[in-house]
Structure 1
Amino acid sequence: MGASQGRTAGFTRHELPGLRVHVRPDPRFKRVTAVLAWQMPLAAETASPFALLPRLLRRGTRRHPDLPSLERALADLYGAHLGVGVEKMGDRHLATLTLTWPAGRFVPGAAGPGEALARRALGLLLEVFAEPYLEGEGFPAQRVEEERTAQIQRIRALVNDKASYALRHCVEHLCAGEPYGISELGDPDRLATLDGEDLVRLHRRVRAVAPLDLLVTGPVEPGAVVEAVAEAWAARGGGPREVLELPPPVIRGPRPEPRRVEETLPMEQGWLVLGLRAPIGFDHPLRPALEMYNGILGGFVHSKLFMNVRERASLAYSAWSRLVRGKGLILAMAGIDPRRRADAEAIMLRQIDDMAAGRIDDRELEATRRSLVNGLRSDQDQPAAVIRTALESLVYGHDEDPEAAIARLHEVGRDEVRQVAQQVGLDTVYFLHGGTPAADGGAGRGGDRAAGGDGGR
């Protein structure tokens, strides 16, 4: 059994040969949640097969070669659920297999905290990752065809949610030339060319060199979990590996002159996105103040964007901002009448200028602090959020203990928020609209233009 090697976001860390195991016992939960996560650099040449791989792993294993067989194995674990996920975190591509099953005390006839059930469940999770069902030297051709077609359809369907579409395309321009500008979902043209052997090659690469972490929380006994994982991992060929050293994310300030991009799609409203940057990464001492900055600017209903753009000026039916914590990015967004674009942009920019000048009142400061702290405390009641916090700590190499994060938020004052505000700058202005000529002139003229986007980026 691997010896304890410290803690990560409340999880005790154990090092097994080629696999890190993180356990956080919590008797409050009725189910056990286990997430197996692997990371690789986010790159155009690997993004498409990486996005597809977890979905193919979910289709079957050597012992359970098809979906009906795998579903029966999950049913035998008293209604266990197996899900997959792919996202980008910083400049890394992250994939997950998530297995949940009922805690031992809710299983008829189970004794203790359910060690036998946990052993079977963890064994199945590692089996799905390490022993996929193959035909010859590749994943079955029919499954590859089905999954790549479904993935292309998911990408094409993004155009139906105009707000998400605008955010994604703003990020492409905001982070052009950086890994974060690449879609974590892959590229439709590249996906269409993939075959089963391409995906097996990537799977072998992941098994050989990708950082691999297993996080488990719920009513579990840590020693029994680590012992079960060690046994299952060894039985499936796990052992010492030469794990890749992945580079830290690109952190930079805004470009000297903001880039302006307009795109048209058939639609009535418009979405205006201001892409802001600050040279403040996940482990920067001012990052808690950056979170406060985002909350005051547009993170909550008391924020400056909501109150001034939507409520007072009635220029937007939605106005808010989002922080990409590991990159120092803030995406300030408003859904507007395209004819009022210049007015809306001017008021949005005024809020940014006001914060740089320190015009932040006590109500905004304290309401934001309460909202952020309440969010962190609420996260501790949700296994998925607990595990995500730990994953961010692993990806960014900076322990994010929730109680310590709350304590730091309580220490942030107006001066620190202003210090952050003076480092935040406008990098990219993205405007998605239906082609209606602007009636109010001014902001937004010129710049790059794109017409009829295909939703596939």
Structure 2
Amino acid sequence: MDTIQEKRLDEQGLKLHFIQTKKFKTINIIVKLKSKLDKETITKRALLPYILKQGTKTYPDRSALQLKLDDLYGAVLTADGGKKGENHIISVRLEFANEKFIPDASNVMDEAVQLLSEVLFHPNTGATGFDDAVFKREVGTLKQKISAIQDDKMSYANMRLIDEMCKEEAYQLHVHGYEEDLNNLTNDDLFNYYQHMLEQDEMDIYVLGDFVEEKVKHLIMDTMQRTEQQGTKEADPAAKNSVIEQNEIIEKQKVQQAKLHIGFRTNTTYQDEAYFALQVFNGLFGGFPSSKLFINVREKNSLAYYASSRLESHKGLLFVFSGIAPDDFEKARDIIRLQVQAMKDGDFTEQELNETKDLIVNQLKETMDHPQGLIEILYQQVIGNRQMTPTELLEGIQNVTKDEVVHVASKIEEDTVYLLTSEGGEQGE
């Protein structure tokens, strides 16, 4: 893999990240706006990406904006929100053709930066803030998204697990916001918060492709103006919470397939040296079809329709997801616990260790082969407040030893068992 060089500049309250590569025929510019998770603001932040991509002052509706994107040789604009650790991130992305590959095109970069700046800083507004029709429509869109989680039982079970596991913690907050807060939200409130966000959020701008850095820097500085003081608040260190008491929650609904989701505290985050070993632990435990969860829970015992695990590396959480028959709850839960114990006991071979490291490295390389995937990997450093190049990440994974995996496993504690099961099912000890 080519060495990836990231050049960082702090200019006028903007953190610029330039990544030069000739691998792609497009340029990607991604703006990341970061703030703490907060119940008072999360619904507003969840709604803003929907509104911002609906139009600007110059291109006041979605069709006018789309015509401009088409005019930029089929540029693609996306905006969304998400949470990493106890941070709420809004991402606005623009991918467009590199003018070097287009005969007689010399202004694509200028127009693209201007357009992205306008999406962020000059949205379509009316007398009460944002365009009123857009505001009402997008409130409805977000309400649909929130209610759709109730119908997607896997997403619902994971949301409920985090509700129970992270009570009194910012990470518990729902990333799509809350319907009751949407019902009380006015256009004026949202617009005021949007202006506050532009002033206060930490703003990182990634530019990836084959471009002239000095030109792009000036374009961004000229169109996205902030003061030196804006957005300079340092990131909070990653939160680590220990298990106070183990929890078991059983909820009943009209479901055919029960969802058994279990949350663990890893006591290890992206900031720690043991982060690499934790990634390898997850690969062996439940990250791949060759992992212990898949083989033992699904294949050998035929207890689960699916069984896998996922890390939240900035918060220090490990989630196990499984879909089971309602009557198999205790058996499945106990076999999952046995797999955790097997990892703590070092019950895996050097061959399995090496194969898993190769799988993780290949997965990371595949992610880095996509511009937006590479930027997400680089942005982890901002969230985790730790500098780590992609090369260091890959080498860190390759160098993990069996003893390091066992040691990181020894720190993992079960926190909460959440079961969503059928109303007729008989569960309990």
TM-score range, shorter chain: over 0.9
Deviation at residue 241 of structure 1 after TM alignment: 2.9
Instruction: Name the SS for the 1:220 alignment partner.
Output: coil
Q: Give, as a single letter, the amino acid of the residue that structure 1 aligns with 2:241.
A: R
1:39 and 2:30 correspond:
no
Q: In the alignment, what sits opposite 1:196?
A: 187
Q: Give, as a single letter, the amino acid of the residue that structure 1 aligns with 2:404.
A: E
Q: Give, as a single letter, the amino acid of the residue that structure 1 aligns with 2:121.
A: A
Q: Is the 8 A contact 1:305 1:319 kept in 2?
A: yes
What are the within-5 Å matches in structure 2 for residues 16-35 of structure 1? Answer: 16-35=11-30
Q: Give, as a single letter, the amino acid of the residue that structure 1 aligns with 2:54.
A: R
Q: Is the 8 A contact 1:306 1:319 kept in 2?
A: yes
Q: Is the 8 A contact 1:178 1:250 kept in 2?
A: no
1:277 and 2:272 correspond:
no
Q: In the alignment, what sits opposite 2:283?
A: 295
Distance 1:428 1:45 in 2: 26
Q: Is the 8 A contact 1:303 1:364 kept in 2?
A: no
> RMSD across aligned C-alpha pairs, in angstroms?
1.6
Q: Which of 375, 387, 409 is equivalent to 2:375?
A: 387
Q: Is the 8 A contact 1:149 1:192 kept in 2?
A: no
Q: In the alignment, what sits opposite 1:156?
A: 147
Q: In the alignment, what sits opposite 2:242?
A: 253
Instruction: Name the SS for the 1:399 alignment partner.
Output: coil
Q: In the alignment, what sits opposite 2:397?
A: 409
TM-score, normalised with respect to structure 2: 0.96
Deviation at residue 137 of structure 1 after TM alignment: 4.0
1:61 and 2:83 correspond:
no
Q: In the alignment, what sits opposite 2:356?
A: 368
Distance 1:403 1:245 in 2: 26
Q: Deviations over 1:1-26 (max 9, x none)?
A: xxxxxxxx742112220111111121
Deviation at residue 321 of structure 1 after TM alignment: 0.5
Q: Which stretch shifts more, 424-433 or 141-150?
A: 141-150
Q: Which stretch shifts more, 373-382 or 343-352?
A: 373-382
Instruction: Name the SS for the 1:225 alignment partner.
Output: helix
Deviation at residue 406 of structure 1 after TM alignment: 1.1
Ranges in structure 1 where 5+ consecutive residues have no aligned partner: 1-8, 443-457
Distance 1:37 1:11 in 2: 16
Deviation at residue 334 of structure 1 after TM alignment: 1.3
Distance 1:369 1:310 in 2: 22
1:167 and 2:158 correspond:
yes
Q: Which stretch shifts more, 276-285 or 223-232?
A: 223-232
- Structure 1 residues 270 and 363: CA distance shift in structure 2, 3 A: farther
Distance 1:157 1:133 in 2: 28
Distance 1:299 1:339 in 2: 26
Q: In the alignment, what sits opposite 1:264?
A: 252
Instruction: Name the SS for the 2:129 alignment partner.
Output: coil
Q: Deviations over 1:328-361 (max 9, x none)?
A: 1110121111101111111100011111122222
Q: Give, as a single letter, the amino acid of the residue that structure 2 aligns with 1:413.
A: T
Q: Give, as a single letter, the amino acid of the residue that structure 1 aligns with 2:288.
A: F
Q: In the alignment, what sits opposite 1:450?
A: none
TM-score, normalised with respect to structure 1: 0.90
Percent sequence identity is 30
Q: Is the 8 A contact 1:302 1:367 kept in 2?
A: no
Instruction: Name the SS for the 1:285 alignment partner.
Output: coil
Q: Deviations over 1:188-214 (max 9, x none)?
A: 110122121111111111111111111
Instruction: Name the SS for the 1:71 alignment partner.
Output: helix
Instruction: Name the SS for the 2:184 alignment partner.
Output: coil
Q: Deviations over 1:366-419 (max 9, x none)?
A: 121111111111122101111101221112211231111111112111111111
Q: Is the 8 A contact 2:314 2:383 kept in 1?
A: no
What are the within-5 Å matches in structure 2 for residues 409-428 of structure 1? Answer: 409-428=397-416
Ranges in structure 2 where 5+ consecutive residues have no aligned partner: none
Deviation at residue 68 of structure 1 after TM alignment: 2.4
Distance 1:436 1:364 in 2: 41
Q: In the alignment, what sits opposite 2:218?
A: 227
Q: Is the 8 A contact 2:26 2:98 kept in 1?
A: yes
Q: Which of 305, 317, 327 is equivalent to 1:317?
A: 305
Q: In the alignment, what sits opposite 2:169?
A: 178
Q: Give, as a single letter, the amino acid of the residue that structure 1 aligns with 2:237.
A: P
Distance 1:249 1:410 in 2: 25
Q: Give, as a single letter, the amino acid of the residue that structure 2 aligns with 1:75.
A: D
Q: Give, as a single letter, the amino acid of the residue that structure 2 aligns with 1:329.
A: L
Instruction: Name the SS for the 1:124 alignment partner.
Output: helix
